[in-house]
C-alpha cells in the first residue's frame, strides 16, 4: 500500500535494450559454440551482458544513495528477490525430481522382473549407485554408455572425517551462521563486526568452492564423469548447478563486502542489497542440505 511519498519511476533507460542484446549474443554464441563454432561471440556477449548488469546495479545503488528509493520501492525489491529465489527453488526441484524418478521409477523398471528387462535389458540389476549401466549389463564390451569406476556416496568413505562432503557441509552450514552474525552486527550498528563476519562468510564460500573443485578433480581422475550413466548425470548436474549458484552467491557477498569496506555502504536501516545476497546464500545452503541427504547420504 502506498502512502510513503512518491514512488520512483525511472526516466528512460538504455539498460534493458543493451541487456537484451548482451543476453542474446551470449546464448546465440553459446549455441553456435556447442554446434562446433568458436567461442568468440559467446565471450563478447557475456562480457557485454556482465558490463550492462554491472552498470545497472551501480545505477540502482546511486539512486538509493540519492534518496530516490522510498520505503514502498524497497518493498518491491523485497518481493522481487523473494520470488526470484522461489523460481530458483523450482529449477532445482526439476533436477531433484529427475533424481527421484530415475531411482524410484525408471531403474526399478529397467532392472525389474518384467518384460522390459527380459527383452531390452536382460542381465541388468538395479543397484544404486549405478556403477553398471543397463547398456553395460546387456551389451558387455559393445556398450556405449558406461558406468563410473567410483562414486561419492557415504558408504565409500573410511571415516566420516576423511569424507570430503562432510567438510563441505560443515563449511557451508557455518557460513550460513556467520552471515547471520554479520546481519545481526549490522542491525546493532556494529559495522566492524559486520565487515569481519561477512568477510569470514565470503572466505568460507571460497573454501567450499575449492573443496568442490578438489572433489571434481578427484572424480575425473578416478573415472567418474558426467557421461557415466544415471549416477554421473545426476551427481554432476545437481552438484554442478549448486556449485554454480554458490559461485554466484559468493560473488554477490563479495561485492557486498567490498561495498561495505571500500565505500562504507549499508546501515542498520538501509541494507537491502546485503540482505538479498544473504537470503540467496541461505537458499544455496538449504539446497546443499538436500544434496547432502539425497546425493551423498542416500547415494
Partner 1 sequence: MAHGPAKGFSRWLYTTNHKDIGSMYLWFSFAMFLLGGVFALVIRAELFEPGLQIVEPGFFNQMTTMHGLVMVFGAVMPAFVGLANWMIPMMVGAPDMALPRMNNWSFWILPFAFAMMVATLFMEGGGPNFGWTFYAPLSTTYAPPSVTFFIFAVHIMGASSIMGSINIIATILNMRAPGMTLMKMPLFVWTWLITAYLLIAVMPVLAGVVTMMLMDIHFGTSFFDAAGGGDPVLFQHVFWFFGHPEVYIMILPAFGIVSAIIPTFARKPLFGYSSMVYATASIAFLSFIVWAHHMFTVGLPIAGELFFMYATMLIAVPTGVKVFNWVTTMFKGSMTFETPMLFSIAFVILFTIGGFSGLMLAIAPADFQYHDTYFVVAHFHYVLVPGAIFSITAGVYYWLPKWCGNMYNETMGKVQFWLAFIGLNVTFFPMHFVGLAGMQRRVPDYNQFFADFNMISSMGAFLFGAAQLMLLYNVISTIVSGKKASDEVWEDPEGLEWTVPSPAPYHTFSTPPPIK
Q: Would you tell me which residues interact with partner 1 (CB under 8 A)?
A: 1-3, 6-7, 9-17, 19-21, 23-24, 27-28, 30-31, 34-35, 56, 72-73, 75-76, 79-80, 83-84, 86-88, 90-91, 93-95, 97-98, 101-102, 105-107, 109-110, 120-121, 130, 133-135, 143-145, 226-233, 236-237
Closer of 126 and 201 to partner 1 (Cβ): 126
Q: For residue 241, how far is the Cα from the chain centroid?
A: 5
Closer of 23 and 61 to partner 1 (Cβ): 23
Closer of 30 and 181 to partner 1 (Cβ): 30
Closer of 90 and 262 to partner 1 (Cβ): 90
* Least gap, CB of 104 to partner 1 (angstroms): 11
176: Cβ–Cβ under 8 A, 6 or more apart, which residues?
281, 282, 285
Closer of 87 and 162 to partner 1 (Cβ): 87
* Least gap, CB of 168 to partner 1 (angstroms): 23
Closer of 199 and 275 to partner 1 (Cβ): 275
**What span, in angstroms and rounded, lies between the C-alpha atoms of 283 and 294?**
17
CA distances from 189 to 159, 186, 256, 272, 273 (A): 43, 5, 16, 15, 16
* Least gap, CB of 36 to partner 1 (angstroms): 8
- CB count within 10 Å of CB 49 equals 20
**What span, in angstroms and rounded, lies between the C-alpha atoms of 162 and 75?**
46
* Least gap, CB of 197 to partner 1 (angstroms): 30
- Contact 282/173 with Cβ under 8 angstroms? no
46: Cβ–Cβ under 8 A, 6 or more apart, which residues?
22, 25, 26, 29
* Least gap, CB of 76 to partner 1 (angstroms): 4
* Least gap, CB of 253 to partner 1 (angstroms): 22
* Least gap, CB of 41 to partner 1 (angstroms): 12
Closer of 26 and 169 to partner 1 (Cβ): 26
Reduced to 3 states (helix: H, G, I; strand: E, B; else coil), residue 61 is helix
- Backbone phi and psi for residue 267, each to the nearest 5 degrees, phi listed first: -130, 175
- For the chain, helix, strand, coil in percent to 5 are 75, 0, 25
Amino acid at each position: 500500500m502506498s502512502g510513503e511519498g512518491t514512488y520512483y519511476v525511472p526516466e528512460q533507460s538504455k539498460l534493458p535494450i543493451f541487456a537484451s542484446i548482451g543476453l542474446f549474443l551470449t546464448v546465440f554464441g553459446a549455441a553456435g559454440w556447442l554446434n562446433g563454432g568458436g567461442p568468440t561471440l559467446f565471450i563478447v556477449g557475456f562480457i557485454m551482458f556482465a558490463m550492462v548488469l554491472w552498470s545497472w546495479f551501480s545505477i540502482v545503488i546511486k539512486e538509493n544513495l540519492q534518496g530516490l528509493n522510498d520505503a514502498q520501492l524497497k518493498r518491491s525489491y523485497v518481493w522481487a528477490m523473494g520470488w526470484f529465489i522461489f523460481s530458483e527453488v523450482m529449477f532445482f526441484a526439476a533436477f531433484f525430481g529427475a533424481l527421484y524418478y530415475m531411482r524410484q521409477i525408471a531403474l526399478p523398471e529397467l532392472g525389474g522382473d518384467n518384460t522390459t528387462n527380459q527383452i531390452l535389458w536382460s542381465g541388468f540389476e538395479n543397484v544404486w549407485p549405478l556403477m553398471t549401466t543397463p547398456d553395460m549389463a546387456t551389451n558387455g564390451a559393445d556398450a556405449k554408455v558406461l558406468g563410473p569406476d567410483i562414486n561419492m556416496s557415504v558408504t565409500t568413505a573410511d571415516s566420516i572425517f576423511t569424507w570430503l562432503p562432510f567438510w563441505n557441509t560443515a563449511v557451508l552450514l557455518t557460513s550460513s551462521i556467520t552471515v547471520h552474525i554479520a546481519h545481526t552486527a549490522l542491525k546493532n550498528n556494529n559495522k566492524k563486526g559486520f565487515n569481519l563476519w561477512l568477510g569470514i562468510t565470503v572466505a568460507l564460500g571460497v573454501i567450499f568452492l575449492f573443496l568442490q573443485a578438489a572433489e571434481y578433480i578427484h572424480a575425473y581422475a578416478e573415472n567418474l564423469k558426467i557421461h557415466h550413466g544415471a549416477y554421473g548425470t545426476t551427481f554432476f548436474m545437481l552438484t554442478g548447478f549448486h556449485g554454480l549458484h554458490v559461485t554466484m552467491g559468493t560473488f554477490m557477498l563479495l561485492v557486498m563486502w567490498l561495498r561495505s569496506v571500500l565505500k562504507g555502504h549499508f546501515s542498520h536501516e538501509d541494507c537491502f542489497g546485503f540482505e538479498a545476497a544473504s537470503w540467496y546464500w541461505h537458499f544455496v545452503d538449504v539446497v546443499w542440505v538436500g544434496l547432502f541427504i539425497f546425493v551423498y547420504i542416500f547415494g
